Amino acid sequence: MKRNDKERRKQQRLVKLGSNNPICGICGETDWRCLDAHHVADHGRDDVTVAICASCHRKVTDDQKDHPAFDAGADPTLDRIGHFLIGLADLLSIIVEKLLEFAHILIELAKPSAIAGDAQ
């Protein structure tokens, strides 16, 4: 019965993540047990979610705590769009950090000394 429980949990998670092959859009984690559905515009403002791992989720959720506070008098559509754009910028800033990290690794690996070391 335990095997059925694990499969049921997996299927429930995959439905929540909206994919049979989810992957963290930031770091590439693929273990379904480590992935969450992150609300880009902050929970309660919009239903748009992206699959990200728990570690990356914690980072962007903490960033959301610095977003502008809810204003009951604000136009709800404009407020939702604004918070979505800020949330998207938070995700993109983490992705840009990873791109730079990977670019520097590739540049180091491309150096003749790195290539010659592999040939020996």
Greatest Cα-to-Cα distance within the chain, rounded to the nearest angstrom:
68
The secondary element (H helix, E strand) that includes residue 35 is strand 35-39
Please give the residue that has the higher pLDDT: either 89 or 4.
Answer: 89
pLDDT tens digit sequence for 14-65: 999 999 999 998 889 999 999 999 999 987 788 889 999 999 999 999 999 9
Q: Which pTM was predicted?
A: 0.74
Range of the domain at 103: 2-119
Q: How many domains does the chain have?
A: 1
The secondary element (H helix, E strand) that includes residue 56 is helix 54-64
Amino acid, res. 31:
D
pLDDT tens digit sequence for 92-103: 998 898 889 999
